[in-house]
Amino acid sequence: MSEDTVLRRNKWDAIDFPVLIATAEAFDDGVAPVLQDGQVKVDGLTEDDVTGALIRLIEHGGYIDGEVTRTMGGGSFVIMRGLSERGLRATGVWPADDRAVQSVVAALESAAEKETDPTKKGKILAAARAVGQVVGTAAGETLGAFMRQQLGIPS
């Protein structure tokens, strides 16, 4: 794993995800129907850390519905209207959308029930278990999105 990959993963775990959780909690607590960057606080993070994370979560991640205004002095002002569907799912406010993956698991299990050859049946059930294990992971989200696209199911 490259140092760049480790840095990105650590930034998500150490900064962006805690800021996303804090944002979800702020909206859930009814702090305001619209939040500004100064209203989201995370222990151990500076205001600049939080603002940087909010910008990434709005502009690049699609986790927060909001706007970023850049000031003439090089600063930024963030306004948030709420979490997007992706943000609601990432924070656990909404359940993961794994219907497509679960459909594949069900189809594989159904095929296994109909299979008479024990070796083939075992392989089909192993495939069903393997597919079922990716539910709730990034791989599961990717597989589910791909399957929805291929089947013409809206996301």
pLDDT digits (tens, 9 = 90+) for 63-87: 999 999 988 888 888 989 999 988 9
Q: Is 87 exposed, middle or buried (0-12, 13-18, 19+ CB in 10 A)?
A: buried
Are 8 and 83 in the same domain?
Answer: yes
Dihedral over alpha carbons 91, 93, 95, 96 (to 10 degrees) = -20
Are 71 and 120 in the same domain?
Answer: no
Amino acid 135: pLDDT: 63
- The pTM assigned to this predicted structure is 0.60
Q: Which of 17-21, 36-40, 58-62 has the lowest mean pLDDT?
A: 36-40
Are 61 and 125 in the same domain?
Answer: no
Are 64 and 14 in the same domain?
Answer: yes
Are 8 and 65 in the same domain?
Answer: yes
| Number of structural domains found in the chain | 2
Are 74 and 112 in the same domain?
Answer: no
The residue among 48, 73, 90 that closes a domain is: 90
pLDDT tens per residue, range 95-129: 766 666 777 788 888 888 888 988 888 888 888 88
Amino acid 95: pLDDT: 72
Amino acid 43: pLDDT: 93
- Give which of 148, 57, 127 is closest to 67, Cα–Cα: 57
Amino acid 154: pLDDT: 60
Q: With both helix axes pointing from N to C terminus, report the angle between 99-114 and 138-151 in degrees, rounded to the nearest 10.
A: 80
CA triplet 40, 41, 45: central angle to 5 degrees? Answer: 130
Amino acid 73: pLDDT: 86
Residues spanned by the domain of 71: 3-90
pLDDT tens per residue, range 25-44: 988 876 666 777 778 889 99
The mean per-residue pLDDT over the stretch 36-54 comes to 89
